[in-house]
A and B are shown apart, each in its own frame.
Chain A
């Protein structure tokens, strides 16, 4: 019976959650109370650890889960300051005159969507509002599909719907092409050589937006969303170094540190790294979306992680002390 006890609790919890009134937003007072309770719980864990009662990994998971979930119901707004690298990216986009052709390379898949999809949506909304012509492609199979999802969401905005944007004239999706960095290399001489048709099988020559677009020299800016290989590193190494095109990027937080050297050597024109980069990018483009919602949960979870690092080190010192006492 005890074995299934946890299953019963879980199922009961799910039933309660289904039956709760929706949407569920708590008042600022309740939000503050929950935050204080979470903090007190962490203090209790620290005290227990110092007294020698070590907590299990499942408790840590529970705290992380709570720190990520509870902010969804809270009404706090986090102030977000745009960092220099995101500002550089935005400034490069802001300098583009109306009608500029921007190549948007979607090099990620659904697992990286929480970090990169908000950036994609903010970028597409900004591009559409400022009459930038967007040419979409991807070096990952699901990338162009993620682009379509971002476009579908952005086209629902009233301001953008009123513009009556047309596929093939204001934006086009060339789809995925296998070959990794060889695709970028070949695009340097001929886009149509790598993408003879778009994602809907229309011939390259029949797409109005692509008239006169032969290679990178006809592109004003490249915006790359990347989750790994092939991605920003390859775009910088080939498109920037070899063909001199300007590339700005949004990366997952895992990849961002390895791309910073290109930022400091001015090969990369701006970088939005991870969820914080996505939130800053949304602020800079004034297209507030999911990233600004997520960032509160992100911040809570970071505080909990820091607390557990302190607790973990406290546990380490306690065990050192115990072993010394035993040795003495």
Chain B
């Protein structure tokens, strides 16, 4: 028997098992769920072991002589002390290193790309609208401008949302909800796509009903 055929049937039966949850929780689903969780935990363990521990640490240090990686190994070992009550405080040091390095890298990156570039873009957009854009373009950019400012006011925590300020914050809430609706619509598309992939597998690879 062709191993690909066994793999296809296994995948199809597991897919149907997980999908059976939409009817109600049942033993078939529970078995498939347990298999999925177990395999995923095993898969990630193996991935981390071979990619990080073996390829980076062992091969890097022993075969390539990149001794600076020893620092990473020591920090990683210190992290494991978290599991032991008395010496658990040692894990704070590698965690501080990770948080500090990530903050250092991300702080300016987020500040320039997510804050300054967006402010620059918002003002720039209005310039572009005035010099050559049509009416719809101008309205669109005004909407973005109003949404940006009112959204910032909604997230301003140093003042109570009362009176005019509260009214403007409410406009910000509407903009947020409209944005969430649009984002939700995009996600419905994404979820349908995932289901489509599985249905395509069942119809094309398993049942061969469709080419």
Contacts and interface: CB of A to CB of B under 8 A. Distances in A.
Interface of A: 6, 17-18, 20, 22-25, 58, 61, 64-65, 68-69, 72-73, 111-115, 141, 176, 178, 181-182, 185, 196, 236-238, 241-242, 252-254, 256-257, 261-262, 264-267, 273-276, 290, 294, 297-298, 301-302, 305
Given A73-B210, A237-B109, A58 B23 contact: yes
A275 B187 CA distance: 11
A293 B52 CA distance: 39
A298 B190 CA distance: 9
Contacts of B197: 113-114
B113 A237 contact: yes
6 contacts: A72-B200, A72-B203, A252-B190, A254-B186, A264-B144, A298-B192
Contacts of A298: 189, 192-193, 196
Given A237-B110, A256-B186, A178 B52 contact: yes
Interface string B180-211: 00110011111011111101100100011111
A141 B44 CA distance: 9
B118 A261 contact: yes
Contact of A267 (B52, B117, B209): B117
Contacts, number: 129
A232 B80 CA distance: 32
A-B complex: 9 closest residue pairs judged by Cβ atoms = A114-B197, A253-B190, A265-B121, A237-B109, A275-B193, A253-B186, A253-B189, A257-B183, A301-B192
Contacts of A305: 188, 192
A22 B209 contact: yes
B196 A275 contact: yes
A18 B190 contact: no
A24 B64 CA distance: 57
Contact of A253 (B22, B120, B187): B187
Given A61-B22, A294-B193, 12 more contacts: A22-B209, A68-B195, A72-B209, A73-B209, A114-B197, A242-B109, A254-B186, A257-B183, A262-B113, A297-B192, A298-B196, A305-B188
Interface residues of B, number: 44
A112 B106 CA distance: 26
A25 B203 CA distance: 12
Given A68-B196, A238-B109, A265-B118, A302 B56 contact: no
A272 B120 CA distance: 24
Contacts of B51: 141, 176, 178
Nearest to B43: A141
Nearest to A60: B22
Nearest to B207: A17
A182 B56 CA distance: 14
A238 B110 CA distance: 10
A217 B64 CA distance: 27
A253 B209 CA distance: 28
A275 to B, nearest CB: 4
A112 B190 CA distance: 9
Interface in B147-197: 179, 182-183, 186-190, 192-197
A72 B195 contact: no
A68 B113 contact: no
A18 B196 CA distance: 20
A85 B129 CA distance: 19
A290 to B, nearest CB: 7
A254 B186 CA distance: 6
B72 to A, nearest CB: 10
A69 B186 contact: no
Interface in B75-119: 101, 105-106, 109-110, 112-114, 117-118
B110 to A, nearest CB: 7
A178 B44 CA distance: 12
Contacts of A290: 200
Interface string B52-83: 10001000000010000000000000000000
A294 B200 CA distance: 9
B120 A114 contact: no
Nearest to B48: A178
A25 B187 CA distance: 30
Contacts of A69: 199, 203
A301 B51 CA distance: 40
A75 B199 CA distance: 17
